[in-house]
Each structure stands twice: as C-alpha cells, then as structure tokens.
Structure 1
C-alpha cells in the first residue's frame, strides 16, 4: 500500500513520529512525552497551517522554531516564548505562538513545568 501512496510527506507535519516526538527539555522532569504530545495535539493543525500558508509566498522556507511553554500544575498554559528561530519569518512565528496559546490543552500534573519544544519545518 505504501508503494502506491509514495513516501510520506513529512515536510510540514510537526508531530508525525508514531512513538511521539520528544521535547528538547522538561524542567522539572515531571511530564513524559505522551502527556506533552497530547497537550500539543490540538494545536498541530493550526501550527502546520501557519507554515503552509507562508510556503505559498516562499517555497524555500525552512527552519526550526524553538519555544518554551510554561504549564502550571493545574494544566493552564501560563506563557509561550520563542527561544530561537532559524525560520526567520516573524509572521509564522507569531502565528505559532497564537496557535499554542489558543489551541493547546494540558492535563494536571504534580508541579509547574517549562517544556522546550522544537518545531522543524521543511528540514
């Protein structure tokens, strides 16, 4: 079946890995990749859209955006901050932050955490 479909296109998908991508860091280490992936899952289509929309004007656009997400023990997203970006596209970066603020949901945990996550686009 895969031969008929061709190779999977992973240039836009940020959460493709069936085992779940892993965050760059979680401080303190109280949340595992499954909990983090489930928190990001609802934002996935919107983040992908942010990048795909920019590709229409800049087909060569590629790079990684690293964000810190501060998540409270109660499951509230307290803040989102871009730590670094090799994408060099401020509109996409603002769109990513908006998508994460509006479309993530987190379960409760024992303590507040800061999750460092990398979104790699077209790499």
Structure 2
C-alpha cells in the first residue's frame, strides 16, 4: 500500500505529537518536582519541558514513522528515554546523584506512559 503525505496530514501529525508532548510534560511535572525538591537547581521546569519536547517528539516520530504498535518495541523505546532523560538530568542538575536522576526519570516516565496508554485506550485510539 502506498501512502500519500498531504500538508493536512503533516499538520495533523504535528498537532497530535504536540498534544502528546504537552500531556507528557504535565504528567511528569509532579514526579520531577518532588524527586528533585532538595536540589538547588532552579531551572527544573524549563529543563523538564525541553527534555520532554525532544524525547517525546522523537518517540512519537519513531512510533508513527514505523507504524509501531504499543508492545515490546514501545517498551524498549521508553526504557531508552528513561536512560537518556536520567543522564540529562544528572548532567544538568549538579547536586543530585546518578541513581536519583535515573529513579526520578523512571518514575516520571512510568507514570506518564501508564496514564498515556490508559487515555489512548479510553479514547479508542
């Protein structure tokens, strides 16, 4: 089957990816703020937003480009995101341990993935 890319389809795809990124940022904000509450680093929210725009955008582009369903590949991609975000948080937030950064990333991403999949199932997407 041949797929035709139209400007409307591209705009719709960008809109969906943007909405998914926004929902992810909102869902991950509480775990990140709670997990890093003892840190003196004052740019936690801008860091969270930037990191999630990039990682969530890449995740959704990969899922859509390769027509990947939610399954093992999705699980592997989410684990990669946990690791990437954990490393970024560790490098950016100077007064936390690597274990703390990775734990917060895991909890935040697990929370947003579970809620996100539930919402997708609820909406019938």
TM-score (norm 2): 0.42
Hey, which of these two has a bigger chunk of helix by percent? 2
TM-score (norm 1): 0.42
Hey, which of these two has a bigger chunk of strand by percent? 1
